[in-house]
Amino acid sequence: MVVLGTVAVYYGPTVAELVKNPEDLVEAIQSYGHWGALIFIGIQIFQIVLPPIPGRVVQIAGGYIFGLWLGTLYLVIGSLLGSFIAFYAARVIGFPLVEAFVPPDKFERLNEVMERSKTDFAVFLAFFIPAFPKDLLTYVAGLTPVSGPRFVLCGFMGRFPGMVMSVLVGNSLREEDYGLVILIASLMVIILLVSFWKRKWIASKLSKRGVESGPASE
């Protein structure tokens, strides 16, 4: 954990700055040649371990640089490793670490997700919904008795469809297939609108307080 903290302090700001500028991110990864894959996996790990870093940009960059299959593979590896690191960092260090990332109001809502008697579907749904604070939930989950592998697997299954769509966008941009980019972007918007339309039902699945609390949001 000391190593993780040291790496985050030294390299976190650099990664965060790169992700804010997609062109610089792509150029930086490509500059490492064959080592670019490992650098990219590391950036994906950072994106999960440091929640403020936006994940969508990293995912699209993966598709643009490595194509559909390799881009997805590298994202899967980074996502799983990052989730395990965040989960067990919270479990080992405890609330002080979680408090550093998760505001009190969001902590209360996210903690309710983990208090559900049947958490598997709730976790899957939370990771599937666009704009839900997935990485914050990973830290909160580390404070609960839930099994780490079980949580990470359920979360990954929910995260995977959106990840693939983002990789497809990046791959389509590389191949200049802008029609497919528009189609996927439209599908993402539809999912977001349906999530908003069904927000009361979603809230009832994610919160013991049901529709009264409203869905957690980023």
Over residues 187-216, the mean pLDDT reads: 64
**φ, ψ for residue 194 (rounded to 5)?**
-65, -40
- Residue bearing the bigger pLDDT, 5 or 47: 47
**Nearest 10 degrees: Cα torsion 148, 77, 86, 194:** -80
Q: Which of 89-93, 98-102, 133-137, 204-208 has the lowest mean pLDDT?
A: 204-208
**Residue from 72, 61, 48 nearest 164 by CA:** 72
Give a three-class secondary structure readout of the chain.
CHHHHHHHHHHHHHHHHHHHCHHHHHHHHHCCHHHHHHHHHHHHHHHHHCCCCCHHHHHHHHHHHHHHHHHHHHHHHHHHHHHHHHHHHHHHHCHHHHHHHCCHHHHHHHHHHHCCCCHHHHHHHHHHCCCCCHHHHHHHHCCCCCCHHHHHHHHHHHHHHHHHHHHHHHHHHHCCCHHHHHHHHHHHHHHHHHHHHCHHHHHHHHCCCHHHCCCCCC
- Residue bearing the bigger pLDDT, 23 or 150: 150
Percent of the chain with pLDDT over 90: 37
188: pLDDT strictly greater than 90: no
Tell me the residue type at 102: V
| CB count in 10 Å sphere of residue 37 | 19
Percent of the chain with pLDDT over 70: 79
pLDDT at 209: 46
Query: What is the pTM (predicted TM-score) of this model?
Result: 0.81
Joined together, the tokens standing for residue 77 give 């590896």
pLDDT at 16: 60
pLDDT confidence band for 52 (50 / 70 / 90): confident
Q: Chain-wide mean pLDDT for the chain?
A: 82
pLDDT at 157: 94
- Per domain, the residue ranges of the chain are 2-210
Over residues 100-110, the mean pLDDT reads: 86
- Residue bearing the bigger pLDDT, 69 or 105: 69
28: pLDDT strictly greater than 50: yes
150: pLDDT strictly greater than 50: yes
Over residues 66-85, the mean pLDDT reads: 95
Tell me the residue type at 80: L
Over residues 172-201, the mean pLDDT reads: 83
pLDDT at 205: 66
Terminal alpha carbon distance of the chain:
27
pLDDT at 136: 92
